[in-house]
Amino acid sequence: MLKYILKRLLIMVVTLWIIITLTFVLMVSVPGSPFNSEGNSNEIVQQNLAKHYNLDKPYHVQYLLYLKSIVTLDFGPSIKQPNQTVNDLLGRGFPISAELGIVTIIVAVISGITLGILAALRHNGVIDYLAMGIAVLGISIPNFIMATLLIDQLAVQREWFPVATWKSPMHMVLPVLALATGPMAIIARLTRSTMLEVLTQDYIKMARAKGLTPWKIIVKHALRNALMPVITIMGTLVAGIMTGSFVIEQIFAIPGMGKYFVESINHRDFPVIMGTTVFYSAFLIVMLFLVDIAYGILDPRIKVAKKEGE
Amino acid sequence: MKKLLFLLIAALTVFFLAACTANNEAGEDPEEKENVEEPADNGETTDEESGSDEKVLRLNNGTEPSSLDPSIGFDAVSWDPLNNLMEGLTRLDADHRAAAGVAEDWEISDDGLTYTFTLREDAKWSNGDPVVAADFEFAWKYMLNPETASAAAFLGYFIEGAEAYNSGEGSVDDVKVTAVDEKTLEVVLAAPTGFFLDVLTNPAFFPINHKVAEADPNWHTEAETFVGNGPFALESWKHDEEMVFVKNEHYWDASAVKLDKVHFAMVNDSNTQYQMFEAGDLDTASIPPELSDQLIDGDNVFIGPYGGLEFFRFNLEMEPFQNKKIRQAFAFAVNRDDIAQYVVKNGVEPAYGFINPGYTSPSGQDFREVNGDLVTFDPDKAKQLLEEGMAEEGYDELPAITLSYNTSDTNKAVAEALHGMFQEHLGVEVTLENQEWNVFSEAQKALELQFSRSSFINDYNDPVNFLESFITDSYMNRTGFSSEEYNELIATGKSATDEEERWNALFEAEKLLAEEMPAFPIRYYNTVVLEAEGVEGILRHPVGYFDLKYADKK
């Protein structure tokens, strides 16, 4: 097991290095500079700025500087917000995005699985059509439309919730709803289809024959196997949602880290591009690793460790 | 094996939960302060605050300021807060002219080179320190230090020795800013500059409390350490979320300040901030483009000029725009009224000259009125000019023309309107091309674009600010235009000691620019703001930033 984990860790480091290198190559090959604001300027000022951020150095030196900053986990100051380091920005933004993300995931998983099970149990019944109708809507309505609808209906027309900003649990309701609909719908559809498949298996019939209660059959026997595909998508889903959504954070004025993924590229804010890329990749890789381990626990047929170890 | 896995996951879960709780607690700390004044759980602040006697104005800054270091924050999102947290030697008054700020009085030598400022005795920092001449000397030299890498440094080049120091060739000791004594600041300029007092209203020239800055170079990054000298003090600053200003009791003119508090939200979505305004969470808001037609004529809309121009540049090094008449033809084929009224909307004014209205000449007239309309919509003339131009160049057919703009909905609409006008009035089919801002901007600087969109926002209150862009090899030129005559006019327009002479040169320069037409104007920028009932007295200057010193909320 230990050997397996070490091997995975090594692969993770190599993957990260490849991602960093590719990002750097892309970053320097895109035209534009961080100092192209619409404001006025002159050559001397531009030179001073380039020098200040080491952008006047040859590419290989810049690359080594980036590698150094990643190894020391100190990405230096943001170019767009020079008085904030990248660590400040991510350190402040991530907890907020993560808080929103965790609540969203909990909501999406619970409601998605419930919908999926209900739909599967009442296959081709009214509940099934209703649940899948909700799921199709959830998948096809983009979250920014959902967000705008929610604000208009629940915050402006009815004043039940605040429009935006990030101050109290009440402020969290609308963004969570807007963010959770999509994943919820996906999870519901996945759960439904695998549940339907599992419910026709022999061992379920066996369980029924033994006279187990329907509740026990579903929770103990069916659900466990039906969850495998859900676990598979959880890795990417968790990494994606917890690192923030650009659109939702912008619409609800949430000070999370989602915006940095997009804005850093628009501004050519190189340290922030590097910081967000490394952070997201590392997070995603770790999540995928956890998913692999979770497989092993949920499904005894998958023995990650042994297969590798033997 | 299973046990080990279970332990591992359990440990991770615990760690994860611990991390989350820690964050929650950390997040609550600054909020507690807020809860004292806003106990409502639902986060609605309105009732509680209007119930007390405090006058609280709630504005939106859009985003986090790039920096509240006055030498570094060189954009609107930094200037608006800075202009209310700090004050320079001069401050723009209600007529948008430079009036006394920290400087109570000044003397200008006869050659127009030496400015001697006398600082107010009662000018104080928000921590109680007196504002001294050394604070200005420190701040300006810090701004000009090449290692500071201030984007605003070029504004300081009016000062003798500044350009050399900033370019790394000169020494800081040769920058002619001297604190003669505690309350006297002497500045020697490189050349006479009639609008120097206007330049000084830019936040780049604000003082820095040198004692504070020397002790803590990061004084400007948090509310706890921030020290200003303006009408308001920074009470709290939740990065990316909200800034709260309180009235600065140490401000020399504190009795003029009516507001007790100002909340700056950071909502970067035009629909959201409008809906917050509608819900009563904001006192001012901008108009979302989709709602422009519906809202623009409302009683609660403030429309004012904004010192800036949208224009299009020709590339004089690419065919067919080496020819003056062809350039003019394109300029005269544009119906600017239609573009302003039906394409850009939002109450913008069409531009028939390069300099926006609002600059008053020494004789008291507006620059725009004196020079009048320099380029109009005249399809017949345009057609004729095009024919003449093509004959001069021996073209049977015009070379292919590509019009480029940086990607945005408004820019696209304007470009499409132009496309139609050139086709209708000149019979020329231009190809439209849009590029992401950074890519576009690089290409434009490198003179790789044939015909491209541009915008200019004034840094200071003088026509020379824009006109200077087109001198030979200026960083802002980006057209390949070069004229000795124009360069000379600008030199006079910048440095003549006689204001009359200086303005005459500027009038001539604008006319010459319109004659040569390396670029043609489309429309002026404006400021459009929705203001809630009872909001009064916010000074919105055409150049730069707003001033809340006299603002009130009834």
Contacts of A4 (CB under 8 A, 6+ apart): A304, A305, A308, A309
If DSSP codes are grouped into helix, strand and coil, which group holds residue B546? strand
Per-residue confidence (pLDDT) for residue A158, from 0 to 100 = 85
Nearest CA to CA, how far is B253 from chain A (Å)?
Answer: 30
Per-residue confidence (pLDDT) for residue A232, from 0 to 100 = 86
Give pLDDT tens digits for B456-491: 988 888 999 999 999 998 999 999 999 999 999 999
Out of B239, B437, B474, whose CB is closest to A92?
A: B239
Write out the H or E segment, with its range, that includes residue A12: helix A2-29
Q: Which residues is B451 bridged to in the sheet?
A: B314, B403
User: Where do runs of H (alpha helix) occur along A53-201?
Assistant: 59-71, 86-121, 126-140, 143-150, 169-199
pTM of the predicted model as reported, rounded to 2 decimal places? 0.85
Per-residue confidence (pLDDT) for residue B399, from 0 to 100 = 93
Tokens linked to B321: 């725009």
Name the residue in chain A with its Cα closest to that of B62: A253
Q: By the CB < 8 Å criterion, does B467 face chain A?
A: no
Per-residue confidence (pLDDT) for residue B13, from 0 to 100 = 47
Name the residue in chain B with its Cα closest to that of A80: B66
Q: Is A133 exposed, middle or buried (0-12, 13-18, 19+ CB in 10 A)?
A: exposed
Q: What share of chain A is helix, strand, coil (3-state, %, to 5)?
A: 75, 0, 25
Nearest CA to CA, how far is A241 from chain B (Å)?
Answer: 15
If DSSP codes are grouped into helix, strand and coil, which group holds residue B312? strand
Measured between alpha carbons, how far is residue A46 from residues A36, A55, B67 in Å? 9, 11, 18
Average pLDDT, chain B: 88
Per-residue confidence (pLDDT) for residue B82, from 0 to 100 = 96
User: For residue B103, which of B118, B83, B91 has the smallest C-alpha distance?
Assistant: B118
Please check whether the domain covering A91-201+228-298 is classified as CATH 1.10.3720.10: yes
For chain A, 310 residues long, give each residue's pLDDT as a single digit of tens. 788 888 888 998 999 999 999 999 999 898 888 888 777 888 899 999 999 998 999 999 999 998 998 888 888 889 988 888 999 999 999 999 999 999 999 999 999 999 998 898 888 888 899 988 988 888 899 889 999 899 989 988 888 999 888 888 889 999 999 999 999 999 999 999 998 988 888 888 888 888 888 888 888 888 887 888 888 888 888 888 988 889 999 999 999 999 999 999 988 999 999 999 999 999 999 988 888 888 877 777 766 555 444 3
DSSP B195-261: THHHHTTSGGG----HHHHHH-TTTTSSTTT----SSEEEEEEETTTEEEEEE-TTSTTGGG---SE
The Cα–Cα gap between B523 and B526 comes to: 9
| Chain A residues lying within 8 Å of B154, measured CB to CB | 40-42, 44-45
Domain ranges in chain A are 2-71, 91-201+228-298
Phi, psi of B357 (to 5 degrees): -60, 155
Q: Which residue type sits at A257? A: M
Per-residue confidence (pLDDT) for residue B368, from 0 to 100 = 93
Q: What's the pLDDT band for B38 if we cut at 50, 70, 90?
A: very low
Q: By the CB < 8 Å criterion, does B1 face chain A?
A: yes
Per-residue confidence (pLDDT) for residue B128, from 0 to 100 = 93
If DSSP codes are grouped into helix, strand and coil, which group holds residue B309? strand
User: Where do runs of H (alpha helix) occur along B496-531?
Assistant: 499-516
The Cα–Cα gap between B512 and B483 comes to: 10
Q: Which residue type sits at A123? A: H
B516-533 average pLDDT score:
95
Out of A30, A48, A80, whose CB is closest to B149?
A: A48
Per-residue confidence (pLDDT) for residue B52, from 0 to 100 = 62
Q: By the CB < 8 Å criterion, does B67 face chain A?
A: yes
Per-residue confidence (pLDDT) for residue A302, from 0 to 100 = 67
